[in-house]
Amino acid sequence: MEAIYQYAWLVPVLPLVGAMLVGLGLISFNQVTNRARQLNAVFVVSLLGAAMFLSVALLVSQFQGHAPYIRTLEWAAAGNFHLTMGYTIDHLTALMLVIVTTVAFLVMVYTDGYMAHDPGYVRFYAYLSLFSSSMLGLVVSPNIVQIYIFWELVGMCSYLLVGFWYDRQAAADACQKAFVTNRVGDFGLLLGILGLYWATGSFEFEAIGDRLQILVETGSLSGLLAGLFAILVFLGPVAKSAQFPLHVWLPDAMEGPTPISALIHAATMVAAGVFLIARMYPVFEGIPAAMNVIAFTGAFTAFLGATIAITQNDIKKGLAYSTISQLGYMVMAMGVGAYSAGLFHLMTHAYFKAMLFLGSGSVIHGMEAVVGHDPALAQDMRMMGGLRKFMPITAITFLIGTLAISGIPPFAGFWSKDEILGSAFAANPFLWFVGWATAGITAFYMFRMYFSTFEGKFRGNQSEIRQKLKSAAANTLMSPSPLAPNFGPGAMDTRELAALSDDSHGHGHSEHPHESPRTMTLPLIALAIPSILIGLVGTPYANYFEEFIYPPSETLAEVMEKVAEFDQTEFFIMAGSSVGISLIGITLASLMYLFGKIDPAAIASSIKPLYELSLNKWYFDDIYHRFFVLGSRRLARQVMEVDYRVVDGAVNLTGFFTLISGEGLKYLENGRAQFYALIVFGAVLGLVIVFGVT
């Protein structure tokens, strides 16, 4: 048993090796590597598979009660400053390892089908592998510095992958938006880490928490400051887990290929924020103000995401807002102290949301056969409908995911969501109410999505809708000028692009969408199983999950006691009410989109302001654009005008002076050896004189 712990470092290293080898191959033998597509894919996938088996073994061993394992080695030591790095395997880590590796494994298998025609196929696998490695590294980190390093790496992979189709203007913009938004959060996180180190002198989670507690109690650190640090740290998760107000990047990030959306922007990376909160729980726990901030941020985000998701027509955007909403649930759970409930939801959500995204990818893949490679058409639900006939497997799995996210028992989402709502009710009924209402909205928009995609009749060949969407897409683009392929860093060459457009011609314009290839449907089926069943490990009757995952400040006995306190009637009331509102949502959705009894357009026009509010994403993008982008531009211009001569002048002068002095000093090298010798002797003489005088 010890052996698997000693080799646990292989879990993040194996995918890294894969990424490195494939990357090196791409750099040095580009054509050969690109030709051996499947070979590369099999190599990368099998390495990740090995990591997955190791993770499962670790989870089993942890579940059997093996003590947490930490192995560190000194990374940099100078004087009394020690920085260690290594890995730690405890319950939380083991769980996360299994989640990440299984989802990543399935997504990689899926990618083979989805990216089959893409010229960047091999590059995509290299990035995916690099991402998996960074994410696994983040999960096993024993201290906050290492987490931060991997946090940035994970972010970097995310930008690389969002901008994977960098020749699309939207993808490039989205990548930039994600970068800037995350920078805000990461900066807060870094400040928080440094502040906590300054206060406690430690980078270890438990030590920070304990010492902070003592410092605050003895009064040597004001509670205000401790709260500030905690909230600064929380800014990191806010950005990464797309919480209000930094949620704006996530929907745009859906410009990336769908497997990325599934793996990074639904199942794993965005959950890293929640994971960090869990890791830093010893810190947050002792600061009620911080906990409140976390809880209310989460609740508001959950509501916000759900309300926006109602009106989205792009299938991936809709799922993105639903992800934001679900992440809000998790964060709220963390904030109200429902540690294990939050992580439980993280796990169930990872599986069903990955499945939903992969399903949407499968739909898009099928639609592309009809409408061609145009994201404005292929992803729009108004073009879909009736797809169940053409792609039954996708439809069934998507329905399972929809049921799971809507909280219908016995699907996975029900148990986790119910646990969160129960804890929220105990903490603050208002939070419960928000969560409860959100659950209803969730059920409504998810079924709206399902019905308009898979039921009814196929609308993909109606040219008037297509025309309308095309013109709408053209209008929304700020600059409707034809997109000139941008050859920046990392650019493919033109031949590849030509190959891409050839593809779309040869591939599109068939009458009906088709079911996706087996490499894509198999992962869907595989993910459907946990989406149905995984919730059963955390039923209130036999809550194995809570026995396994509990806050570091509690002992197993306390947890068992709590679990034993379970009240049957209370559970039925809570569960009943949340299932009830879900059912109301589903009924509403079916009336509107399945049977057409209620005309959604009529409702929309009757509550136009609200509809517009939702459709325009609560105007966040516009507000940010106006306030931050334009505002900062205006401010910058004013500052520039005022300080034009002072600051700019000074900076320019320094730079100018440096350059000029460089230019000037270089003429001291006049190329004459004897002049050089003169300087040597002169310098010696000068130094002697200096000493002679002093």
Partner 1 sequence: MYDFEDKFRNMQLQYFLLLAAALFCIGIYGLITSRNAVRVLMSIELLLNAVNLNLMAFSSYLDPLEIKGQVFTVFVITVAAAEAAVGLAIILAIYRNRDTVDMEQFNLLKW
Partner 2 sequence: MDFANLVDQLNAGTILPEGIVLTTLMVIVVGDLIVGRSASRWIPYTAIAGLLAAVVALYLQWNNPNPISFLGAFNSDDLSIVFRGIIALSTAVTILMSIRYIEQSGTALAEFIGIMLTATLGGMFLSGASELVTIFISLETLSISSYLMTGYTKRDPRSNEAALKYLLIGASSTGVFLYGVSLLYGLSGGETQLSAIASAIADANLSQSLGLVISLVFVIAGVAFKISAAPFHQWTPDVYEGSPTPVVAFLSVGSKAAGFALAIRLMNSAFPLLIDEWQFVFTALAVLSMVLGNVVALAQTSMKRMLAYSSIGQAGFVMIGLIAGTEAGYASMIFYLLVYLFMNLGAFTCLILFTLRTGTDQISEYSGLYQKDPLLTLCLSICLLSLGGIPPLAGFFGKIYLFWAGWQAGQYGLVLLGLVTTVVSIYYYIRVVRMMVVKEPQEMSDAVKNYPEVQWNLPGMRPLQVGLVLTLVATSLAGILSNPLFTLANSSIARTTTLQPIVISSHFSATVPAENSALQTQQ
Q: Report the interface residues with partner 2, using CB under 8 A.
A: 27-28, 30, 73-79, 487-489, 491, 493, 658-659, 661-663, 665-666, 668-669, 671, 673-677, 679-684, 687-688, 691-692
Q: Maximum Cα–Cα distance for the chain, whole Å?
A: 104
Looking at beta carbons only, is 457 or 672 nearer to partner 1?
672
Q: Residue for token digits 């026009």?
A: 605
**Interface with partner 1, residue 678, by CB under 8 A:** yes
Q: Per DSSP, what are the bridge partners of residue 77?
A: 82
**Interface with partner 1, residue 65, by CB under 8 A:** no
DSSP codes, 83-94:
EEEEEEE-HHHH
Looking at beta carbons only, is 557 or 673 nearer to partner 1?
673
Pick one of partner 1, partner 2, none as the site partner of residue 219 (Cβ within 5 to 8 A by kind): none
3, 73, 669, 691: residue in contact with partner 1 (rule CB under 8 A): 669
Q: Which stretch binds partner 1 (CB under 8 A): 150-158, 164-172, 643-651, 677-685?
A: 677-685
Looking at beta carbons only, is 506 or 671 nearer to partner 2?
671
79, 662, 671, 692: residue in contact with partner 1 (rule CB under 8 A): 671
Q: How far apart are CA 367 and CA 353, in angstroms?
A: 21
Looking at beta carbons only, is 606 or 674 nearer to partner 1?
674
Q: What is the dihedral of CA 100, 105, 109, 115, to 10 degrees?
A: 40
Q: Which stretch binds partner 1 (CB under 8 A): 279-287, 328-336, 563-571, 662-670?
A: 662-670
Looking at beta carbons only, is 81 or 667 nearer to partner 1?
667
Could you tell me how many residues of this chain bind partner 1 (CB under 8 A)? 11
Pick one of partner 1, partner 2, none as the site partner of residue 75 (Cβ within 5 to 8 A by kind): partner 2
Pick one of partner 1, partner 2, none as the site partner of residue 487 (Cβ within 5 to 8 A by kind): partner 2
Looking at beta carbons only, is 78 or 665 nearer to partner 1?
665
**Interface with partner 1, residue 506, by CB under 8 A:** no
Pick one of partner 2, partner 1, none as the site partner of residue 556 (Cβ within 5 to 8 A by kind): none
Q: Which stretch binds partner 1 (CB under 8 A): 94-102, 142-150, 459-467, 665-673?
A: 665-673
N-to-C CA span, the chain: 72
Is the CB of residue 330 less than 8 Å from the CB of residue 349? yes
Q: How far apart are CA 454 and CA 381, in angstroms?
A: 9
**Interface with partner 1, residue 639, by CB under 8 A:** no
Dihedral sign (CA 30, 32, 38, 42): negative
**Interface with partner 1, residue 672, by CB under 8 A:** yes
Q: Per DSSP, what are the bridge partners of residue 88?
A: 70
Question: What is the smallest separation between the CB atom of 686 and partner 1, expressed in angstroms?
Answer: 14
**Interface with partner 1, residue 662, by CB under 8 A:** no
Pick one of partner 1, partner 2, none as the site partner of residue 73 (Cβ within 5 to 8 A by kind): partner 2
Q: How far apart are CA 92 and CA 187, in angstroms?
A: 26
DSSP codes, 336-389:
TT-HHHHHHHHHHHHHHHHHHHHHHHHHHHHHHHHH-S-HHHHTBGGG---HHH
670, 690, 691, 692: residue in contact with partner 1 (rule CB under 8 A): 670
Question: What is the smallest separation between the CB atom of 689 and partner 1, expressed in angstroms?
Answer: 15
Pick one of partner 2, partner 1, none as the site partner of residue 27 (Cβ within 5 to 8 A by kind): partner 2
Looking at beta carbons only, is 2 or 669 nearer to partner 1?
669
Looking at beta carbons only, is 631 or 682 nearer to partner 2?
682
| Nearest Cα residue to 515 out of 393, 399, 382, 386 | 393
Task: Tell me how many degrees the CA angle 539-542-548 measures, rounded to the nearest 5.
Answer: 90
Question: What is the smallest separation between the CB atom of 690 and partner 1, expressed in angstroms?
Answer: 19
Query: 230 vs 138, 151, 217, 397, CA distance in Å?
Result: 20, 17, 16, 40
Q: Which stretch binds partner 1 (CB under 8 A): 23-31, 392-400, 486-494, 669-677?
A: 669-677
CA atoms lying within 13 Å on the CB side of residue 656:
6
Question: What is the smallest separation between the CB atom of 156 and partner 2, expressed in angstroms?
Answer: 11
Give the burial string for 82-96 (b: 16+ CB within 10 Å, else e): eebbbbbbbbbbbbb
Q: What is the dihedral of CA 189, 195, 197, 199, to 10 degrees?
A: -150
**Interface with partner 1, residue 666, by CB under 8 A:** yes
Looking at beta carbons only, is 15 or 513 nearer to partner 2?
15
Question: What is the smallest separation between the CB atom of 675 and partner 1, expressed in angstroms?
Answer: 8
Pick one of partner 2, partner 1, none as the site partner of residue 646 (Cβ within 5 to 8 A by kind): none
Looking at beta carbons only, is 179 or 571 nearer to partner 2?
179
Tokens matching residue 376: 């404005």
Looking at beta carbons only, is 73 or 668 nearer to partner 1?
668
Question: What is the smallest separation between the CB atom of 100 and partner 1, expressed in angstroms?
Answer: 57
Pick one of partner 1, partner 2, none as the site partner of residue 78 (Cβ within 5 to 8 A by kind): partner 2
Q: Are strands 81-89 and 69-78 parallel, antiparallel or unpaired?
A: antiparallel
CA atoms lying within 13 Å on the CB side of residue 388:
15
Looking at beta carbons only, is 511 or 669 nearer to partner 2?
669
Tokens matching residue 401: 């995911």
Question: What is the smallest separation between the CB atom of 673 and partner 1, expressed in angstroms?
Answer: 7
Give the burial string for 550-578 (b: 16+ CB within 10 Å, else e): bbbeeeeeebeeebeeeeeeebeebbebb
Q: Which stretch binds partner 1 (CB under 8 A): 361-369, 587-595, 642-650, 666-674?
A: 666-674
Q: How far apart are CA 153 and CA 267, in angstroms?
A: 17
Q: Which stretch binds partner 1 (CB under 8 A): 308-316, 449-457, 579-587, 675-683?
A: 675-683
**Interface with partner 1, residue 674, by CB under 8 A:** yes
677, 683, 688, 689: residue in contact with partner 1 (rule CB under 8 A): 677
Q: Per DSSP, what are the bridge partners of residue 143?
A: 204
Question: What is the smallest separation between the CB atom of 654 and partner 1, expressed in angstroms?
Answer: 23
Query: 57 vs 2, 52, 231, 534, CA distance in Å?
Result: 11, 9, 36, 18
28, 78, 478, 667: residue in contact with partner 1 (rule CB under 8 A): 667
Is the CB of residue 339 less than 8 Å from the CB of residue 278? yes
Looking at beta carbons only, is 189 or 319 nearer to partner 2?
189
Tokens matching residue 41: 């894919």
Dihedral sign (CA 473, 477, 481, 487): negative
DSSP state of 67: P
Q: What is the dihedral of CA 235, 239, 244, 247, to 10 degrees?
A: 170
Tokens matching residue 148: 């931060």
Footprint of partner 1 (CB under 8 A): 666-667, 669-674, 677-678, 681
